[in-house]
Amino acid sequence: MAIEQSGDKKPSVSADEGSLLDTVKNLWPYMWPEGRPDLKLRVMLAIGALLVSKVATTLIPFAYKGIIDGLDGTAPDNALVMGVAVPVVLLVAYVLGNVIDAGFQQLRDVLFASVGQHAVRKLALQTFHHMHRLSLRFHLARRTGGLSRVIERGTKGIETIVRFTMLNIAPTIVEFIITAVIFVTMFGVSYLGVLIVTIWLYLHFTIKASNWRIGIRRDMNASDTDANSKAIDSLLNFETVKYFANEKMEAERFDRAMAGYERSAIRIWTSLGFLNFGQAVIFYSGFLIIGVLAVLGVMNKTLTLGDFVLLNTFLMQIYRPLNFIGFVYRELRQGLTDIEEMFKLLDQKPEITDKASAKPLSVTGPVIRFDNVHFHYDPDRPILKGVSFEVPAGKTVAIVGPTGAGKSTISRLLYRFYDVTEGAITIDGQDLRDITQESLRAAIGMVPQDTVLFNDSIGYNIEYGRPGATPEEVHNAAAMAQVGPFIETLPKGYDTPVGERGLKLSGGEKQRVAIARTILKAPAILILDEATSALDTKTERDIQSALDIVSANRTTVVIAHRLSTVINADEILVLRDGLVAERGNHIVLLQKAGLYAQMWDRQREATEAEEQLLRTANDPDGFVKRGLPAAE
């Protein structure tokens, strides 16, 4: 089910009044799944079982009437069926009818269970796929906790809507029609008139009150999403909370969000009480009028006592589905409110999509070319202002420059997380906009500055580079990344869990795992996006040797903050204000005595100061400074 939205297009699912039928139509593929004849058969069998239970429900009051008439003396005393008194036979029929009713209703639920769960699974999977299709811009602005809460509520809401729409509304309408025919046939138009007015008032009140409650439900969902977002955000930043001893502040933020949820929840329950009481007043007012008519009929001998019981039983049986219709409508509205936010996500159109004519990337070099590339995240703030360069096959080009110059933007454009505003990026002459995203990203390996690992084992995180790789290939990749010996010292080895975002590992260990993952992927193109800038000098040197192994004979783009990591690059581009200010190798750029040389001098002084601090920390008595051997 493709659901796209752009501009002011009407949302595909809404809880607003008047949109229920349109929404049910949009949800039809979940209720009647294509390509699943087994589930369609279950739907038909479930509806059949429900209809059988409705027939039994309709016949039960007649058995009850017969029992009453037989016992109050209006039936012949010698009435026997196969030697058994009629009241006894009717009592057996009454009990059997109730058993059939209950049994077939349970059979309906059993048959429909797989249909409802399939709908939940299908929608959840569709949402999951869609989240990964949305742009990086969307995900940078998202709130993870709130997003998960929206999806959780939405998947539950879809089961509610599918179940109630398919199995309750239509059969209940059929039951009303049957009851109406019986009323007008046996008791006259006046009884039917009171019944119709009662039902109309009941449903009208239910719809109006339920629609009023939609706004309250939305407020409650918004408060719930906000509270969950704050809780998840706080837990993901557990260490930061501890660094600043702000547990109390975090608890207060969470409590403020929960206070909003509490207020909305109280309003929901209060409004539900008002709704239920109003429904009861309307129904029992109608019941009173019909009851008075029936009592007068019995007193005038136009109705039997059994007829009075029959009327009473039918009214009670009508009240059950009528109340259920009210419940169903409330649940449908609530379910729609729960899923509308999720369907707003599904209505989000991906910013980056493959053309209909897109072909897989054909790698022959690969040679990367940026041709007069312009790009901005915001039209008022251009990032790249006409950048042109080429990375020859098997060569390494480094990109350096001050913060905000546009270095990391280049890696995002190369991965096609965004499309260029002007100009073109090509690989072996193929414009990135003309090839499939999957084939493009399969050809590129990335070692980022901030390595985030999955909350699984070390082995899983390395194998993620090429799912299905053999254990031997995983171990070889770890060895090349110089992390193999460390893993083998761990009690669980490659099965060692790394924790949330890999927090059980040090920065250097996480970076080596990321390198091993990229080695296993064996990409034709490698991007090193400030892969060592967050590490200390010694760890940086250790990891740099592993990176040199990875980048050997590969077309490599290095985005660097520390210039010491790019001195061996074939060409270095110096970005400033979105333009290439200087280019050349390390020696040439130093000889130019320009921006690169200034950056090099500042970083060299900082490195020397850092090394001096380390020497001082390791020589507290000053032996080295005085030319003496350091104290043991």
State the pLDDT at residue 615. 66
Rounded CA separation 443/524 (Å): 5
* pLDDT over 80 at 12, yes or no: no
CA torsion, points 591, 597, 600, 606, in degrees to nearest 10?
120
Antiparallel, parallel or unpaired: β 80-81 and 84-85: antiparallel
Q: What are phi and psi of 371, to 5 degrees?
A: -115, 100
pLDDT tens per residue, range 171-216: 677 777 777 787 788 888 888 888 889 888 988 888 788 777 777 7
Residue 239's pLDDT band, with cuts at 50, 70 and 90, is: low
Alpha helices in 300-436 (DSSP H): 305-347, 407-414
* Most confident of the following: 299-303, 345-349, 542-546: 299-303
Tokens of 133: 């299709």
Q: What is the pTM of this model?
A: 0.64
Rounded CA separation 354/432 (Å): 10
* pLDDT over 60 at 309, yes or no: yes
DSSP 166: I
Residue 324's pLDDT band, with cuts at 50, 70 and 90, is: low
State the pLDDT at residue 470. 93
- Selected residue with higher pLDDT from 109 and 477: 477
- Selected residue with higher pLDDT from 189 and 335: 189
Beta bridge partners of 80: 85
- Selected residue with higher pLDDT from 130 and 595: 595
Q: What are phi and psi of 540, to 5 degrees?
A: -60, -45
* Most confident of the following: 70-79, 400-409, 566-575: 566-575
State the pLDDT at residue 166. 61
State the pLDDT at residue 171. 66
Residue 359, SS3 per DSSP: strand
Say how far residue 45 (Cα) sits from the centre of its chain.
32
Question: Of 123-137, 142-156, 172-186, 312-326, where does mean pLDDT reach its minimum?
Answer: 142-156
- For the residues 536-564, what does the mean pLDDT come to? 78
Q: Percentage of residues in the chain with pLDDT exceeding 90?
A: 19
Residue 7, SS3 per DSSP: coil
State the pLDDT at residue 24. 65
* pLDDT over 50 at 548, yes or no: yes
- For the residues 266-292, what does the mean pLDDT come to? 86
CB atoms < 10 A from the CB of 113, how many?
Answer: 14
State the pLDDT at residue 373. 95
State the pLDDT at residue 146. 58
Is the Cβ–Cβ distance between 49 and 56 less than 8 Å? no
* pLDDT over 50 at 577, yes or no: yes
Q: Percentage of residues in the chain with pLDDT exceeding 70?
A: 81
Is the Cβ–Cβ distance between 90 and 67 less than 8 Å? yes
Rounded CA separation 615/630 (Å): 10
* Most confident of the following: 53-57, 179-183, 312-316, 512-516: 512-516
- For the residues 233-259, what does the mean pLDDT come to? 79
CB atoms < 10 A from the CB of 507, how many?
Answer: 16
pLDDT tens per residue, range 460-497: 999 989 999 999 999 999 988 888 889 999 889 999 99
Rounded CA separation 176/322 (Å): 9
Class of residue 441 by CB neighbours under 10 A (exposed 0-12, middle 13-18, buried 19+): middle
Residue 6's pLDDT band, with cuts at 50, 70 and 90, is: very low
- For the residues 109-114, what does the mean pLDDT come to? 82
CA torsion, points 225, 230, 235, 239, in degrees to nearest 10?
160
Tokens of 28: 């039809």
State the pLDDT at residue 457. 92
Residue 366, SS3 per DSSP: coil
pLDDT tens per residue, range 448-460: 877 888 888 999 9
State the pLDDT at residue 4. 39
Q: What is the mean pLDDT of the chain?
A: 80
Residue 2's pLDDT band, with cuts at 50, 70 and 90, is: very low
Question: Of 54-58, 78-82, 201-205, 600-604, where does mean pLDDT reach its minimum?
Answer: 78-82
Residue 345's pLDDT band, with cuts at 50, 70 and 90, is: confident
Label each residue of 29-76 as H, E or C.
HHHCCCCCHHHHHHHHHHHHHHHHHHHHHHHHHHHHHHHHHHHCCCCC
Q: Could you tell me the domains of the chain?
A: 20-347 (1.20.1560.10), 368-596 (3.40.50.300)
Alpha-carbon Rg for the chain in angstroms: 36
Tell me how far CA of residue 225 lies from CA of 149, 210, 242, 424, 510, in angstroms.
6, 22, 24, 41, 32
pLDDT tens per residue, range 514-545: 888 988 998 999 998 876 665 666 666 777 77
* pLDDT over 70 at 16, yes or no: no
State the pLDDT at residue 588. 93
Rounded CA separation 237/79 (Å): 82
